Amino acid sequence: MSTPLRAIELPELAASEAFRRAVDIAAEHADDVDRQGRFPVEAVSALRAAEALSWGVPLEYGGAGAGIDDLANATFELSRRCSATGMIFAMHQIQVASIVRHMADSLWFRNYLKRLAREQRLIASATSEVGVGGDMRKSIAAVTAVPDSVDNLVQFEKKASTISYGAYAEDLLTTLRCNPAAESGDQVLVLTHFADMDAKPTSTWDTLGMRGTCSPGFVVRATCLADQILPVPFAAVAAETVVPVSHILWANVWLGIASDAFIRAQNFVRAQARQNPGTTPPTALRLSELSARMAEFRALVQGATQEYMALADSERRAGLSTIGYAVRINNLKIAASEAAVEACQGALRICGFAGYGNAGPYSVGRQLRDAHSAALMIANDRLHATNAALLLVYREGK
Amino acid sequence: MSPTESQTIQSQNRERVRQIVREHAGLGVAFEKVDSATDLYRAGMTSYASVVLMIALENEFELEFPDAMLSRNVFESIDSITNAIESLQRVNQ
């Protein structure tokens, strides 16, 4: 059994004054974060001040017991201003949900969640690995017992191809084979503290977009208690939480980026209309087309969020481990990542050179560059390959 | 059907499932250590191999798994697959 993600109905967390302040701060520094490719330290500090890093933690452990709809809404609001801040918030909440939903009766993880809420600790993740070809469900590195240890210690060393905000987080969730003899897919998640481990960057992060997530490769080495291994196989954590929550929250990041681009395009069209009162500028038609695409995009994301909420905490939870759900949640990721780029390109066509410029109120360059990361975070071709196989047995629409 | 007959059919089904798992689950030499309760995914069955296995089972037993049954827990062991097939056979009778 696991603890439900949603504790009680709460007023909308994203409407709180402290969170609105974090959103404003994210907006203020977004261009600088992008230009310098630096961690959005101001916005993440403001999220800590709003205690937003523990929103997904149940009330009994000092969090806000937020549901995925609250988290999705907050991710969207942040990403409309600063996609890096939105993505960092989203990734952190995915790690929190993995612990909350799969810690079973682990005392160590219960105490950890209380500490997270008290200290507003940020969790990064090391699911990628050099040599597995981008497949999150395979690991090379393994949990190994420390010989002759009296405290039940384990150790591992992993070459992660990317750890987002790894240099700025307090804690790390790592996928590993459960023992040195285990198959590559027989994985567990291990939570360790950066203060107690050795983590060395192996590359730099100077990218087209999503520059503020600061996601270079790392080699991580750690020794920790066996209690720090999440007590459920990663296969179940992935199917029930990591994959759906990632795709839903990422889709909200991309929807936020696309909405930012749309609003800039709309402002541009309105400014044109004001110059010639009484006439509708030609770009207004393109804006209307874009508006229809945005409506589709929002419906796609909202539908997926609602389906997950209906399944996640109920007796229908087994539905999350079906092939049909895997196909649908992969489709969300593919469709949302493509819709984000199309929306930003549509906004660029409307704004013209005012959109192509890197500065000014109609610039959509940052949004377009950020949106292009969407198809690469778990490559869409990999998801198409998976769905192609699954559709050999799953009869969609039947 | 007497309880003995029913047990015989069950063990025949399990043996047919075992043969199909041997041929289609992609476990190679790891199959040697698989008994009817072994977690096939932990033994190394990939999700692609599980799809191939599902198709082979549908062909062998001339049935279609409904979508609600297309889940990891149904295909995780020879026992769980046998149980699923027998529940479908009971429905079809």
Distance from A360 to chain B by nearest Cα, in Å?
48
All domains of chain A, ordered by start, with CATH? Answer: 13-121 (1.10.540.10), 125-228 (2.40.110.10), 234-390 (1.20.140.10)
Cβ neighbours of A322 in B, within 8 Å: 67-68, 70-71
Does B46 sit within 8 Å of A394, measured CB to CB?
no
The pLDDT of residue A8? 42
- Chain B interface, best mutation among A322, A383, A387, by max B CB count within 10 A: A322
Task: Take residue A335 and report the two structure tokens written for it.
Answer: 């469709």
End-to-end CA distance of chain A: 32
A245-266 pLDDT per residue, tens: 999 999 999 999 999 999 999 9
The pLDDT of residue A15? 85
The pLDDT of residue B46? 86
Distance from A177 to chain B by nearest Cα, in Å?
10
Q: Domain of B38: which CATH number?
A: 1.10.1200.10
The pLDDT of residue B44? 87
The pLDDT of residue A1? 39
Which member of A185, A186, A322 has the closest CB to residue B68? A322
Under DSSP, is residue B1 helix (H, G, I), strand (E, B) or coil? coil
Helices first, then strands: H and E counts in chain A: 12, 7
Does A183 sit within 8 Å of B30, measured CB to CB?
yes
Count of domains observed in chain B:
1
Distance from A395 to chain B by nearest Cα, in Å?
7
The pLDDT of residue A397? 66
Closest-CA residue in chain B for A394? B67
Does B42 sit within 8 Å of A182, measured CB to CB?
yes
Distance from B75 to chain A by nearest Cα, in Å?
11
C-alpha A386 chain-centroid distance = 21
Reading chain A (398 residues) residue by residue, the pLDDT tens digits are: 344 444 444 457 888 999 999 999 999 999 999 999 999 999 999 999 999 999 999 999 999 999 999 999 999 999 999 999 999 999 999 999 999 999 999 999 999 999 999 999 999 999 999 999 889 999 999 999 999 888 899 999 999 999 999 999 999 999 999 999 999 999 999 999 999 999 999 999 999 999 999 999 999 999 999 999 999 999 999 999 999 999 999 999 999 999 999 999 999 999 999 999 988 999 999 999 999 999 999 999 999 999 999 999 878 888 898 999 999 999 999 999 999 999 999 999 999 999 999 999 999 999 999 999 999 999 999 999 999 999 999 987 65
Higher pLDDT, residue B28 or A89: A89
- Chain B interface, best mutation among A132, A183, A328, by max B CB count within 10 A: A183
Cβ neighbours of B30 in A, within 8 Å: 183
The pLDDT of residue B93? 74
A275-318 pLDDT per residue, tens: 999 889 999 999 999 999 999 999 999 999 999 999 998 788 88
Query: How far is it, in rounded angstroms, from Cα A88 to Cα A78?
Result: 10
Under DSSP, is residue A171 helix (H, G, I), strand (E, B) or coil? strand
Domain of residue B68, residue span: 3-92
Closest-CA residue in chain A for B48? A389
Instruction: Give the total residue count for chain A.
Output: 398
Distance from B14 to chain A by nearest Cα, in Å?
22
Question: Residue A293 phi/psi, 5° resolution?
Answer: -65, -35
Query: Does the structure show a pLDDT above 90 at B57?
Result: yes
Closest-CA residue in chain B for A234? B42
Does B30 sit within 8 Å of A324, measured CB to CB?
no
DSSP class of A397: T
Cβ neighbours of A186 in B, within 8 Å: 41-42, 44
The model's pTM: 0.93
Distance from B47 to chain A by nearest Cα, in Å?
8
The pLDDT of residue A11? 53
Closest-CA residue in chain A for B45? A185
Any long-range contacts for A234-238 (C-beta under 8 Å, 24+ apart)?
A234/A137, A234/A175, A234/A187, A234/A188, A234/A189, A235/A137, A235/A185, A235/A187, A235/B41, A235/B72, A236/A102, A236/A321, A237/A98, A237/A101, A237/A102, A237/A189, A238/A136, A238/A137
Cβ neighbours of A389 in B, within 8 Å: 47-48, 51
SS (H, E, C) A322-333: EHHHHHHHHHHH
What ipTM was predicted for this assembly?
Answer: 0.83
Any long-range contacts for B3-9 (C-beta under 8 Å, 24+ apart)?
none
Bridge pairing between strands A153-160 and A144-145:
antiparallel
Q: Residue A64 half-sphere exposure, CB side, CA atoms within 13 Å?
A: 20
Work out the angle at residue A274's Cα, subtended by the Cα atoms of residues A273 and A276, and round it to the nearest 5 degrees: 70
How many contacts (CB atoms, under 8 Å) link A and B? 54
Q: Does residue A397 come out as left (phi exceeding 0), alpha (psi in the -120 to 50 range) or beta?
A: left
Which member of A185, A322, A395 has the closest CB to residue B44? A185
Does A386 sit within 8 Å of B47, measured CB to CB?
yes
Q: Are A159 and A128 in contact (CB under 8 A)?
A: no
Task: Take residue A313 and report the two structure tokens written for it.
Answer: 């905490």
